[in-house]
Amino acid sequence: PQCHRLLVDAMNYHLLPHQQNTLQSRRTQVRASQPTLLTIGGRPSLTERALSREVLWRDPREGGATWRHLTQLPAKSFNQCVAVMDGFLYVAGGEDQNDARNQAKHAVSTLSRYDPRFNTWLHLTGMRQRRTHFSLAASGGRLYAIGGRNVEGLLATTESYLPSSNTWQMRAPMESPRCCHSSATLPCGDILVTGGYISCAYSRSVARYSLESDSWSEQTPLDTPRGWHCSATLGGKVYVVGGSQLGPGGERVDVLSVEVFSPEGGTWSRAAPLRLGVSTAGLSPLADKLYLLGGWNEAEKRYKAAVQTYEPATDSWSRAEDLPEPTVGVSCCTLSLPPRHAPRRQQHRNTPGHEDPQQAGKNRSRESSETPTQTSRA
């Protein structure tokens, strides 16, 4: 009976890929996993007209000396959002073409899930609205896509994804449409949305979404208006980092200040400022530190490959090994990977005709060589 039950459980798990989140158990989780820093997509400066499909990883056990190829996105992506839930990496929305004059026109609604155990991608039901310059947060077993913009304009809408049914549902909208904001999940499960572009101006607005009541409430605003910034939760607090705003002459300038939200009192404080201002960068916590990757520097008008590390214990920023090349619109997260030196050959599920044989051959050749990606400085 025990063997039969295990067999049935295994069969259901593999036959119902969309429900694997709810079917997770100790037998299906990544074993002996190592939390690892990932970068996803973006637009490298060396290929101005092309978008990236690259997903890179850095092994903290190696001291962060090299960035390596992990997998490729199902499609080229820019300004996409990512979230990690139940051991899976989710990639949503963004733009599928490089068109600086009309980014909203190329917004997409796609959602894909990466399984680090088998190095495979699964295409999921897309969002109800195309979104770029939006935010994505995981909370309570769901994903929440918030705001952004598309060809119809700025969005105030919120929609949530339920893995067990592979469906999206509309939720309470924000009070005002906004894009270029950031969101982070609080320890209680609520979602904090900060800054962004509202009513043709960079904003100090902070809104809090309650999962329990499906409602939004305004919170104490930021001290500095900003957009294109990042936020992340570390040690029970939300850190709002970087971005840009308008200067006295109406020009875009870097925001160096770092603001910290304490949920207990709903108050803001300051942390050590950035040494290098960046916007459209990636941010993720790992091992009691924050990692800020890449981005655009307004002062120099340049893409950056810098990896900046913040340590709350000393309230200080330092530099780590750079990305392989300067990149903007890049996403960053921490994902537990299996203990192997190099991923197996990538496979795609439910993606007929996804990759041509020539490109697949290049991918296999690259992965089998196990050659570290060399780093460079911006």
3-class SS string, 62-109: HCCCCEEEEEEEEEEEECCEEEEECCEEEEECCECCCCCCCHHHHEEC
Report how far apart, in Å, the C-alpha atoms of 23 and of each of 12, 116, 165, 305 are.
Answer: 9, 16, 13, 39
Report phi then psi at 360, rounded to 5.
Answer: -60, -40
Interatomic CA distance for residues 136 and 40, integer angstroms: 14
DSSP 211: T
Interatomic CA distance for residues 130 and 105, integer angstroms: 9
Among candidates 316, 293, 287, which has minimal Cα distance to 305? Answer: 293
What is the pLDDT at residue 199? 93
What is the pLDDT at residue 135? 99
3-class secondary structure per residue, 183-199: EEECCCCCEEEECCEEC
Query: Token pair 């809408």 is at which residue?
Result: 157
What is the pLDDT at residue 338? 87
Domains along the chain? 34-336 (2.120.10.80)
Interatomic CA distance for residues 108 and 102, integer angstroms: 13
Interatomic CA distance for residues 258 and 269, integer angstroms: 9
Residue 139 CB neighbour total at 10 angstroms: 20
Displacement of CA 113 from its chain's centroid (Å): 13
Give, for all 378 residues of the chain, the pLDDT tens digit: 667 666 655 665 565 666 667 656 666 565 557 889 999 999 987 665 678 999 999 876 666 568 999 999 999 888 999 999 999 999 999 998 877 777 888 999 999 999 998 999 999 999 999 999 999 999 999 999 999 999 999 999 999 999 999 999 999 999 999 999 999 999 999 999 999 999 999 999 999 999 999 999 999 999 999 999 999 999 999 999 999 999 999 999 999 999 999 999 999 999 999 999 999 999 999 989 999 999 999 999 999 999 999 999 999 999 998 999 999 999 999 999 987 644 444 445 544 333 443 444 443 333 333 333 333 333
Instruction: Please list, in sequence order, all residues whose beta carbon lies within 8 angstroms of the beta carbon of residue 85, skipping any fewer than 6 positions away.
Output: 21, 138, 141, 143, 163
CA triple 123-290-261, angle to 5 deg: 100
Please state the pTM of the whole predicted model: 0.84
Task: Yes or no: say if 181 and 135 are a contact pair by the CB < 8 Å rule.
Answer: yes
What is the pLDDT at residue 86? 93
Which helix (H) or strand (E) segment holds residue 260: the answer is: strand 258-262
Task: Yes or no: say if 161 and 168 are a contact pair by the CB < 8 Å rule.
Answer: yes
Displacement of CA 147 from its chain's centroid (Å): 15
Interatomic CA distance for residues 342 and 326, integer angstroms: 24
Interatomic CA distance for residues 336 and 299, integer angstroms: 36
